Chains A and B, each alone.
Chain A
């Protein structure tokens, strides 16, 4: 039995869901879905200076994030894994446990990468619902979805993405990036990169953060805020007293790659990249990550065949 929704009914379904949830439609947004679970800035604790009491803001409202594509769904599954290890991240799960994730995918799906429900395109006018969790099941209403035994299903092949193919061999990527420490490409990138951090902000998997206190203007309370940080920014590894463990852009850029392709492989068995292309689209210096990786991997292969 399949649940099929007409394309034109999707927006009405979303309107209906608004009765029970705060609905966030992320189609066309520059920042990825991580922003709703790991916000750019959030208060983690609030200290009242008068009562000397410490409180932790509670998050109560259920919400639904709609419109994630395949890469973003996969990223959310990975981010869940990251936020569970080595300890459960309280503030992430506080929001994540109150949320539903709905994918909208215009290509035929081989393996459902994550989320609660995925709407998969089956004809030019129709999507079928792939229900992945009980929470997801509860929002599939007869009013919007037709039950069909054997709906007609057209094949919409995923466009060929060489970058994505490269990610399949994450072991090779890990070896290549580790090997590349003294590669000339890092000098080039050290010159080219502005160290602005945009690539990490738009990345659906980058999750570095810093913790900073903020005092209200009336001086009545202090908030401990957790906010996005970026390992490419100059102060990322600088300690009080002034010593900076990653002084140059080159060092910081390599460290970023090392995290995504080497450390992530050692920790999780895969690269922390889903080939979504946001870093490439948004880099003001025009750095194309996929091409950087390709150059490193090609040279590594040459190096291997030369031994």
Chain B
């Protein structure tokens, strides 16, 4: 009897690497990804475990369109040993990967409703995948807003995408420390609320944090009248196995890797932090 090896990673080639900020790079990984019956290769909000032998393995949210079956994009900030090693690689190099894992955003539930997305800095990947999903059939969704924050304008990632998305959704940018020519918002401020016109009884929020989360919740989402049950949050935790065994990512009774990473807010608000 041979059991399937759930830990088996597969080799994947780096097609290109783009520098997006001082310490963040985007990695485009090419492969033949098998499509699910709805035409997607993963659900927006799902993650993969990417690894570079000798330096370890870590979870990363997928940032590209779920309908793209020839590549996936990972946006990686240089923070530890693995990410530093990845940052030294070049196009054509190979790394390893397994997944996708986790639940992803509940796109069927969001469908037909207004949506406010909030994220900051490196929290953009799962939100980016969700936007790509929405834009692939924009008519299925109501009014859609993205509030994207960063420390400084230079820390805003995937700027070309942000520009491109403006045709289909409303993009609101905010920074903590504006540069001279900055015309967007400063901080998670309540003025952002005035820009958002939604039917609060039929609206959903999606967040990826933890950065601006609490601020956004208090200053934007609650004033907008979106209930906690309709706020979906993608959580970050330490993960080793990705499949509910190693116990690192657990919060109470929930495995962030299996039951999440996306939770609705009142599932997790008490165990936040």
B238/A236 in contact, CB under 8 A: yes
With a cutoff of 8 Å between Cβ atoms, the chain B residues found around residue A62 in the complex are: none
A245/B273 in contact, CB under 8 A: yes
Q: Does A258 contact B (CB under 8 A)?
A: yes
Please tell me which stretch of A26-34, A69-77, A207-215 contacts chain B, meaning at least 4 of its Cβ atoms lie within 8 angstroms of it. Answer: A207-215
Q: What is the bound-complex CA distance between A231 and B247, given in angstroms?
A: 8
With a cutoff of 8 Å between Cβ atoms, the chain A residues found around residue B195 in the complex are: none
Q: What is the bound-complex CA distance between A83 and B57, given in angstroms?
A: 21
With a cutoff of 8 Å between Cβ atoms, the chain A residues found around residue B182 in the complex are: none
With a cutoff of 8 Å between Cβ atoms, the chain A residues found around residue B5 in the complex are: 56, 90
Q: What is the bound-complex CA distance between A90 and B4, given in angstroms?
A: 7
Tell me how many residues of A have a C-beta within 8 Å of chain B.
Answer: 43
B54/A215 in contact, CB under 8 A: yes
Tell me how many residues of B have a C-beta within 8 Å of chain A.
Answer: 41
Mark B67-108 against chain A: 1 for CB-CB distance below 8 A, else 0. 000000000010110110000000000101000000000000
Q: Does B244 contact A (CB under 8 A)?
A: yes
B7/A44 in contact, CB under 8 A: yes
A229/B246 in contact, CB under 8 A: yes
With a cutoff of 8 Å between Cβ atoms, the chain B residues found around residue A52 in the complex are: 11, 94
Q: Does B31 contact A (CB under 8 A)?
A: no
Q: What is the bound-complex CA distance between A94 and B247, given in angstroms?
A: 21
| Contact of A224 with B3 at beta-carbon distance under 8 Å, contacts A237-B248, A241-B79, A245-B238 already known | no
CB distance from A79 to the nearest CB of B (A): 12
With a cutoff of 8 Å between Cβ atoms, the chain B residues found around residue A90 in the complex are: 3-8
Among A89, A231, A262, chain B packs the most CB atoms within 10 A around the CB of A89
Q: Does A35 contact B (CB under 8 A)?
A: no
B6/A88 in contact, CB under 8 A: yes
CB distance from B188 to the nearest CB of A (A): 19
With a cutoff of 8 Å between Cβ atoms, the chain A residues found around residue B248 in the complex are: 208, 210, 229, 236-237
A89/B245 in contact, CB under 8 A: yes
Mark A119-142 against chain B: 1 for CB-CB distance below 8 A, else 0. 000000000000000000000000
CB distance from A68 to the nearest CB of B (A): 23
Q: Closest 8 CB pairs between A and B?
A: A240-B80, A47-B53, A90-B5, A222-B53, A222-B54, A241-B79, A240-B79, A208-B247
| B→A interface (CB under 8 Å) | 1, 3-9, 11, 51, 53-58, 77, 79-80, 82-83, 94, 96, 210, 236-238, 240-241, 243-248, 250-253, 258, 273
